[in-house]
Chain A
Amino acid sequence: MASPDVVRQMDKNARPLALSGHVGFDSLPDQLVNKSTSQGFCFNILCIGETGIGKSTLMDTLFNTNFENFESSHFEPKVKLRAQTYDLQESNVRLKLTVVNTVGFGDQMNKQESYQHIVDYIDTQFESYLQEELKIKRSLHNYHDSRIHACLYFIAPSGHSLKSLDLVTMKKLDSKVNIIPVIAKADTISKSELHKFKIKIMSELVSNGVQIYQFPIDDETVAKINTAMNGHLPFAVVGSTEEVNIGNKMVKARQYPWGVVQVENENHCDFVKLREMLICVNMEDLREQTHTRHYELYRRCKLEEMGFKDTDPECKPVSLQQTYEAKRQEFLGELQRREEEMRQTFVQRVKEKEAELKDAERELQGKFEQLKRLHADEKSKLEEKRRSLEEEMSAFSKRRAATELLQAQAFNASTNNKKDKDRKNSGFM
């Protein structure tokens, strides 16, 4: 881009000049501050943790309000994300806060896909910002930035180590968002156990290559406190919106039969440290990191996926416009080619079908001929049989006539004999 180059050139040519009087441009930061205060600030937090681990309570405690969250069930079939936006004001500073909570995280029997929904959500926010940036008529100035600036990962206070789900999820998220791990419900771990637990967690994160958010130490004004706080990670927190009377003061605390855990007592938990670091000191740095590191990485990957490069094959810088045109031509060409292919395939198919049909026709014809022949054969056979039958019939009738004749003659002869016999016999009498 043009501007950084120009600045660098200016540095080489610029010579330091001493002022002989007060000019007044030292008010520039104030002007910036005034402008941004009038615009209002925007901050988005993502809270990841098991159901019931205290995400909503901690948010309520951090921002000293009641965000009206209801208890989720343990029987959600998939991990969901619920985002709620609030407008807060402290002295004259307005903050548009979006809190995104996971619902049903860690409840399923099979947690292999649990991290995917979270990654998809974060990517969607980056995508909508990218789309806005690439628009022709864009209004980034008024755009409600929904990208996640900080991710609080709630670790269960087992006292042993991270869970497998924690490790897998954090590994998938560390290049997309600023991860700040916190140990939730820390009033169940004693001081000595807590120390060992923190060391174990940090060593596990380091040995598995998970990059969590480190508070920045390059700015001298906050370097000291940030370095100290980096050593206390992960923060062991306790949240509570209920107040208990301690020494005539109402403080946020949890009342047990054996004692009272004060949320804002640094001896009891690290809540104050978290609030300092997250809100008071480093909120702006978190936003900056999200924009300059995580978002830029996403943008680069996305554009590379689409085929854009900063330099063309001859290593000359190529503008987005040219690349876009080239891509478009390529795409249209591809479309045409596909159309041709489809048309050819279609023609081929039609030919094949025609050939098939012709074959079928010929077959049918052949069959018809054959049947006809068979039919004729049978007919002639039948004719023959009929003739032979008729001959037999006529022969038979002739023989019958002959036989009858013979019979009649025989009968006559016998009757004559009988008559003779009778006469003879009767003659004797």
Chain B
Amino acid sequence: MSQAEKLKQGQFTNPETPGYVGFANLPNQVHRKSVKKGFEFTLMVVGESGLGKSTLINSLFLTDLYPERVIPGAAEKIERTVQIEASTVEIEERGVKLRLTVVDTPGYGDAINSQDCFNTIIAYIDDQFERYLHDESGLNRRHIVDNRVHCCFYFISPLGHGLKPLDVQFMKAIHNKVNVVPVIAKADTLTLRERERLKRRILDEIDEHGIKIYHLPDAESDEDEDFKEQTRILKASIPFAVVGSNQQIEAKGKKVRGRLYPWGVVEVENPEHNDFLKLRTMLITHMQDLQEVTQDLHYENFRSERLKRGGRKGPEPEEMDKDIILQEKEAELRRMQEMIAKMQAQMQKQGDE
């Protein structure tokens, strides 16, 4: 809250002030109620194995979300299907409770054939929307649990020159259902120059393929300059190149979270080393906005599609069936025609002989 607002508040809290009505107290009431209600947030992380997703989540929320993790070997990965693992934790900070659900997708990109590996993920997102729709349209609407996915961190490998075909296909499949935030993982493998190049390359490819990622809302004109500047910097740094770690390393006399190498220490919270702080700021400052966009844009899209279909589950498969049947029939016709032509040619040849 800026100074001007605080002054204004001070002026109108005193019932003795001339012209006092009292609704300047509303923000306080909202604050109180929201603290009592608590907040819910669902974050989905998607990316190939070994990109540091779990480490990053642990670093972001300063806890260990995956205490008993079993990482499969290469032989098991050959035919692996994607699973959805949702873990919910309740964290509290200064009286504010946050019910955080992290949806992990182990097995993404592991199998030799990744053709349909993200159908499970899309089905999960749709399922959450479906459930919310059902609850919203129900008779008893007291306890609607919001399990819809509010944000999806998509991890891009820093080893390549940009996006891979799997990345493009997946983001295109979910950009209309969820807020997509692309993240460059394990950014300590890139020099500063390489990082800039990769970011620019990724942004170009996102444009080229028409992928709609989550855009930070511009700062309001009545916000103070610092906030506007911060928003500008944040917007310029997408996609964020991050390094995650929960190990405490001793560097320059103080303990920092980072990774220890023979040639130096990568500090997780150092803005010159990577964009971790920016990612965290974005997530925390815009958590409310992420939820709003999910509610107003993605959920409404889903709802209108769903109600248009009139409760039939899966009209698309039917249309697809018709198309498929048509195509099959056409192919058969063509085959028959070819066979007839071949037989005719054969008879001709024999006739000549």
A-side interface residues toward B, CB under 8 Å? 50-54, 71-75, 107-112, 156-168, 184-185, 187-188, 190-191, 200, 204, 207-208, 254-262, 267-268, 346, 349, 353
Tell me if B322 counts as interface (CB < 8 A to partner A). Answer: no
Minimal Cβ-Cβ distance residue in A for B243: A188
**Alpha-carbon separation in the docked complex, A185 to B160 (Å):** 11
CB distance from A187 to the nearest CB of B (A): 6
**Alpha-carbon separation in the docked complex, A74 to B167 (Å):** 11
Question: Which of B161, B265, B272 has the most chain A CB atoms closer than 10 A to its own CB?
Answer: B161
14 CB-based A-B contacts, threshold 8 Å: A51-B160, A74-B165, A111-B113, A160-B49, A161-B73, A163-B49, A164-B74, A164-B75, A188-B188, A255-B191, A256-B192, A256-B264, A258-B266, A268-B262
Interface size range of chain B in the complex: 35 or more
Residues of A with C-beta under 8 A to B260: 190-191
Are the C-beta atoms of A160 and B50 separated by less than 8 Å? yes
Are the C-beta atoms of A112 and B113 separated by less than 8 Å? yes
**Alpha-carbon separation in the docked complex, A3 to B164 (Å):** 56
Tell me if B283 counts as interface (CB < 8 A to partner A). Answer: no
Are the C-beta atoms of B160 and A109 separated by less than 8 Å? no
Q: What is the 8 Å Cβ interface bit string for chain B, positions 284-319, against chain A (1 contact, 0 not)? A: 000000000000000000000000000000000000
Tell me if B163 counts as interface (CB < 8 A to partner A). Answer: yes
What's the dominant secondary structure at chain B's contact region? loop
Out of A74, A162, A254, A256, name the residue touching B164 (CB < 8 Å). Answer: A74
**Alpha-carbon separation in the docked complex, A282 to B144 (Å):** 69
Residues of B with C-beta under 8 A to A262: 263
Minimal Cβ-Cβ distance residue in A for B167: A74
Out of B49, B71, B161, name the residue touching A71 (CB < 8 Å). Answer: B161
Question: Which of A72, A156, A200, A257 has the most chain B CB atoms closer than 10 A to its own CB?
Answer: A257
The 9 closest A-B pairs by CB, nearest first: A158-B50, A259-B264, A259-B263, A162-B74, A52-B160, A258-B264, A188-B189, A167-B74, A164-B77
B-side interface residues toward A, CB under 8 Å? 49-51, 71-75, 77-78, 80, 110-115, 157-166, 169, 186, 188-189, 191-192, 259-267, 272-273, 350, 353
Minimal Cβ-Cβ distance residue in B for A108: B165
CB distance from B25 to the nearest CB of A (A): 48
Are the C-beta atoms of A256 and B191 separated by less than 8 Å? yes
**Alpha-carbon separation in the docked complex, A50 to B158 (Å):** 12
Are the C-beta atoms of A109 and B161 separated by less than 8 Å? no
A162-B73, A167-B75, A259-B263 provided; 15 other pairs, C-beta below 8 A? A52-B161, A109-B166, A109-B169, A156-B159, A157-B159, A166-B74, A168-B112, A187-B188, A188-B186, A191-B261, A257-B192, A257-B273, A258-B264, A259-B265, A262-B263
Minimal Cβ-Cβ distance residue in A for B50: A158
**Alpha-carbon separation in the docked complex, A349 to B110 (Å):** 57
Are the C-beta atoms of B159 and A50 separated by less than 8 Å? yes
Are the C-beta atoms of A167 and B78 separated by less than 8 Å? yes
**Alpha-carbon separation in the docked complex, A214 to B98 (Å):** 55
Residues of A with C-beta under 8 A to B114: 109-111
Are the C-beta atoms of B164 and A157 separated by less than 8 Å? no
Are the C-beta atoms of A164 and B111 separated by less than 8 Å? yes
CB distance from B73 to the nearest CB of A (A): 5
